[in-house]
Chains A and B, each alone.
Chain A
């Protein structure tokens, strides 16, 4: 029970851009310094530029890492037809946080104030106090690029009356960084989510983060 997720290859930076350029150059007509030097270019973006350059579609970047999302258990009754949306919506909340806190943005990066989309106001305030844990704030200024290597989300769902009301999302995210803070980092733990009158919101968390150079 796994669902595909958005691509997570991120911020290849100069080195990756050059590699992409070389590949593109080998196939096409060349690569400008402009594309190599602009911001947090992603392989997907570079691929798009390459495709535009020759007027056809070709994917040169590596396949994006997929986040695996599935159920551990549904507690209570939840019809099959309602399970997939829950899995998709909760996984999306988790991934939005991963993107905003760890994988996305322009590195080197020091701004992490907006790293907690989908959190309640109280949880967001708490996460900002734990910002070194809950984001890449501790190493962001010494990182050139971030690449997701693995991601998994497992859900325990509380369902009452045929509807999902609360979810514990256990997750594990592994990513590598380049730059002065080159390392592999694993973030794991639990996000606690409820849905009352709107979208799923994270109201609590239990997170640990470890790194190995």
Chain B
């Protein structure tokens, strides 16, 4: 048979998205107890979103909540604003250093990672909107242990590491340069380590984006397996506190799966290290953050960084 044409299209009618992080996330071993390991909060109401909205924006937040602590009232340790263009398969991630000194609506200037602690996911979304000009459609908060399980459940990921680094506490043996395979724990360490990186928080945010690429590649590779997405959504639902319904999550997961790797663009918001009283902070380049937001808002594509 001569194949004439082939195509893959996902067109979401409305709503938005979920999380590249765990979202699609898949096949975590089932258990009889399902703690809330992920929180997916719809920021915009469905009725407030254009039916033709073609870009879904998800703010992925890695909470540093300790066991037993409400992860929506802890600090946001990893912050990635992810956009997915459901028409073109493009996607972008704008990373923000967690120590960025920004205005948190209702709370004055604070480090952006405290927005979650001070006001929860919607306040974190508002702080991100103030910095980038993009209002996320969803905020997805996850705990790192769940993140590790999720990585393991999809069989690990592969990332391209630009330079070797290590951490005496999280990864004493360190990560070598080049294409490396990461299981759940290593993916967590790769995404969290800061001290061994020359660029500190900025390099760490870039590593988180490499992790996202690795997760996406794995999901995309398996998305056509019968039942893969359905099982993933079920698992996420079992571990997620969300006001998004199953159909909505399914659409989000499919949107993630159809992103084309060659159309992913990423950037970390620059900034200047400084002090506010005794606290070391990052003064973000607000002009750059706004420019990135303006570039990516309509089509989830960055032209530069």
Contact = CB atoms under 8 A, between A and B. Distances in A.
A99 B72 CA distance: 50
B246 A165 contact: yes
B67 interface: no
A192 B10 contact: yes
B10 A203 contact: yes
B131 to A, nearest CB: 29
Interface in B1-59: 1-13, 51-52, 54
A167 to B, nearest CB: 9
B245 A206 contact: no
A204 B251 CA distance: 9
Interface residues of B, number: 35
A158 B246 contact: yes
A121 interface: yes
Interface centre among A122, A132, A134, A210 (most CB of B within 10 A): A122
B25 to A, nearest CB: 14
Contacts of B12: 120, 122, 203-204
A203 B13 CA distance: 7
A210 B247 contact: no
B56 to A, nearest CB: 12
Interface in B231-250: 231, 233-234, 237, 245-248, 250
Given A122-B52, A130-B9, A208-B5, A166 B226 contact: no
Given A123-B9, A126-B87, A158-B233, A170 B54 contact: no
**Chain A interface: which size bin?**
35 or more
A186 B52 contact: no
Contacts, number: 129
A115 to B, nearest CB: 15
Contacts of A186: 1
A166 B253 CA distance: 11
B8 A206 contact: yes
A76 to B, nearest CB: 6
B227 interface: yes
B237 A160 contact: yes
Contacts of A165: 245-247, 250
Interface in A13-54: none
Nearest to B253: A166
A82 interface: no
A100 interface: no
B3 A75 contact: no
A127 interface: yes
A208 B224 CA distance: 14
Interface string B58-89: 00000000000000000000000000001100
A153 interface: no
A189 to B, nearest CB: 8
A76 B8 CA distance: 26
B100 interface: no
Which of B6, B233, B248, B258 neighbours the largest number of chain A CB atoms within 10 Å of its CB?
B6
A125 B247 CA distance: 21
B229 interface: yes
A138 B247 CA distance: 33
A201 B3 contact: no
Contact of B10 (A130, A204, A209): A204
Minimum-distance CB pairs A-B, first 3: A204-B10, A120-B13, A122-B11
Given A75-B234, A133-B4, A160-B237, 14 more contacts: A76-B234, A122-B11, A133-B5, A133-B6, A134-B7, A160-B246, A166-B250, A170-B226, A190-B224, A192-B250, A196-B248, A204-B10, A207-B6, A209-B5
